[in-house]
């Protein structure tokens, strides 16, 4: 843990406050709490201000009852160190992480915008669907962000629309690497559950099999399908039903749901949502190139062979999940409350 830059330690409150009483927790180190963004299984997310800099930030504060468990604290610190080392314009920045007594927290940039989930829901409610150029505009930088993270040896494992924030300028920012790991590092997880959100999980995650960056591509493919059509490709009344469809059901056609889409998009979606990782695009950059090719009328290239980057990935530890939705950074934080303790 790096030296604290938070000033003199001060006793933390006995318990994390509920979202209806943020004033109880009005200060943490030098940060002034000005609101509650949401509460998840591992942390409460606060909107805060650095008084010296006048900068607003988002604070993820580990729930006090978890701090006594070395595995939870280890996972919290692993996330902070991993994400703090990422430098990409489309990945949320971690500015600091520290602890005061038994209160652990991560300081992130605050993005005052909506999530991709909210954008997608708004289109669907109005009976309007985005065209392919808008999808290319949003998903090309997301592919760049994933390629960058994968080259650093990290996979996200929980890509979904509520983990993609849109800035006020409309640029996408990937957030919440709460279940990301450096491949091959110590794993602070429990066995017997499923990592990720059921509608966006890859088949290998659903089976607790070996996971690698291509699992992220599958999840991003689900997000892409939903963005283009207003619905996820695989739906069901229960988590088990959804997971079974990821394993066995064919990818539904997208163009009947959104007639504005060109014919080539069907092949792109069928490749990125292939049941076997070897049948998918092997890097996020290849997915971006395929989308650009379809938009230009060239057609979608086939999935190329797996590069060396994809080999030797770690085994996914499983976490049980339920489904969530929301909008804005506030809703993204609240979405975690409906899911497992893995997401903070």
How far is residue 196's CA from residue 323's CA, in Å, rounded to a whole number?
Answer: 10
With CA atoms as reference, report the closest residue to 159 among 83, 97, 224, 94. 224
How far is residue 165's CA from residue 156's CA, in Å, rounded to a whole number?
Answer: 15
With CA atoms as reference, report the closest residue to 31 among 85, 100, 81. 100
Catalytic residue check, 216? no
Contacts of 332 (CB under 8 A, 6+ apart): 38, 115, 162, 163, 165, 175, 176, 326
Distances in Å between the Cα of 163 and the Cα atoms of 106, 115, 160, 238 are: 17, 7, 5, 22
Structure tokens given for 215: 């699992």
**At residue 39, what are phi and psi to the nearest 5 degrees?**
-135, 130
Does an H or E element contain 133, and which? helix 132-151
Does an H or E element contain 248, and which? helix 239-248
Contacts of 311 (CB under 8 A, 6+ apart): 212
Longest dimension (CA), the chain: 62
What is the rounded radius of gyration, in angstroms, for the C-alpha atoms of the chain?
Answer: 20
Catalytic residue among 96, 158, 212, 336: 158
With CA atoms as reference, report the closest residue to 209 among 195, 219, 222, 221. 195
Contacts of 183 (CB under 8 A, 6+ apart): 153, 154, 155, 212, 312, 313, 314
**At residue 119, what are phi and psi to the nearest 5 degrees?**
-60, -45
Does an H or E element contain 103, and which? strand 103-109
Under 8 Å between Cβ of 316 and 210: yes
Active site residues: 158
């Amino acid at each position: 843990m790096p030296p604290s830059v938070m000033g003199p330690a001060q006793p933390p409150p006995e318990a994390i406050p509920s979202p209806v009483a943020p004033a109880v927790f009005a200060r943490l180190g030098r940060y002034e709490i000005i609101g509650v963004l949401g509460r998840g299984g591992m942390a409460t997310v606060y909107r805060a201000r650095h008084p010296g800099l006048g900068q607003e930030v988002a604070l993820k504060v580990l729930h006090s009852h978890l701090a006594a468990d070395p595995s939870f604290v280890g996972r919290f610190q692993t996330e902070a160190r991993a994400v703090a080392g990422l430098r990409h314009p489309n990945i949320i920045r971690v500015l600091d992480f520290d602890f005061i007594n038994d209160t652990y927290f991560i300081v992130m940039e605050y993005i005052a915008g909506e999530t991709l989930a909210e954008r997608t829901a708004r289109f669907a409610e109005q009976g309007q669907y985005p065209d392919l150029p808008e999808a290319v505009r949003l998903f090309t930088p997301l592919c760049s962000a994933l390629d960058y993270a994968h080259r650093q040896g990290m996979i996200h494992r929980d890509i979904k629309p509520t983990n993609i924030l849109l800035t006020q300028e409309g640029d996408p920012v990937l957030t919440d690497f709460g279940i990301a790991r450096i491949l091959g590092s110590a794993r602070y997880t429990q066995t017997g559950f499923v990592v990720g959100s059921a509608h966006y999980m890859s088949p290998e995650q659903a089976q607790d099999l070996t996971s690698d960056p291509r699992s992220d591509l599958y999840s991003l493919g689900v997000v892409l399908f939903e963005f283009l059509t207003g619905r996820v490709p695989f739906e069901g009344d229960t988590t088990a039903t959804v997971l079974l469809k990821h394993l066995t059901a064919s990818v539904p056609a997208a163009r009947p749901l959104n007639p504005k889409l060109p014919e080539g998009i069907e092949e792109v979606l069928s490749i990125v949502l292939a049941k076997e990782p070897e049948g998918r695009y092997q890097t996020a950059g290849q997915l971006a190139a395929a989308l650009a090719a379809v938009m230009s009328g060239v057609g979608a290239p086939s999935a190329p062979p797996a590069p060396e980057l994809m080999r030797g990935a770690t085994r996914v530890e499983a976490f049980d999940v339920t489904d969530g939705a929301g909008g804005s950074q506030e809703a993204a934080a609240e979405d975690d409350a409906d899911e497992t303790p893995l997401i903070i």
